[in-house]
Structure 1
Amino acid sequence: MAEIPIRSFAVSVVILRKVSVGYEVLLLRRNGTLVGEWCQISGGIEDGEKAWEAAIREVREEAGLTCRQLYSADICEQFYEADRNAISIFPVFVGFVDADMEVVINDEHSEFRWVQISEALRMVPFPGQRHVLKHVEAEFLEREPRRHLLIHDAHAGTSMK
């Protein structure tokens, strides 16, 4: 009996900012892989790097942002890749940034938008992304995030080691 490999080599990060009408999520329009599609931040985990460290680095590299707080979303984004005949599972993180921070995208993206979750749900192409966004809305916006999920708090100067 053949098995389908399961790969976990990257992270997914949902970035949120508080504005006068609630919260907005950052979406980036992809170049290269998935060209033209709107996605949250994602990227590979480098050798010797913890997944949460990759999340912080990818946010900085892809959007020029620093997370005020970074949480484990306590969920994984998962999908089947037909070309690799593999299941990919990415741990998801939720990063909160200050509303006045300037987004500077890298060459992996052609543009960015800050949108309400309801609009993001219409923009992202995959059911797994919508599942993640609904989870983030329920667990991080409609209720106070659990303190046990906090990984990095820039204001308090703390992070997991």
Structure 2
Amino acid sequence: MKFFKLLPLTILFLFTTKSIAQARVSEIFLDGKSIYITNKMEYPLTGTYYSEGGIAPIVELNENGFGMIQNEDMERKEVLWGIQCSKSGTPMMKKGFDSASFIFWYKENSTEEYAIEDKWIEGHFSIHFRVNKMFVLGTRSKTYVDNKY
């Protein structure tokens, strides 16, 4: 009987999670405030970001909006992620002389009953054009090829 009570909630959760992860622009809510995120940008966001020296802990960002963040204790957590953007999908950035910074949002992708829904965490994402490097959460980075030129 418990199975039949949990089935509709499980289906709703899976549909909502899948919708957030695959949408070009997703709306999230934080303290009653609406925020838009995207996992699409003119630069190659997806891939593996390594700590200095190319070692763990790492961050993996997948094209579908899912990913993995490994903490300092090497514990891996599946996450949903996105870059803050306008309602139309344009990433919101602060442009510097040879860099751009963005707000990176992520939350643990947990299917456990006791998980707190919509507990989004704000992080930092930056692109450094002169050295062709991207940084997520400040310490993990990857190099990229700029195909614009």
TM-score, length basis structure 2 = 0.29
Determine which structure has the larger strand proportion and give its number.
2
Whose RCO is larger (CA < 8 A, sep 6+)? 1
Larger radius of gyration: 2
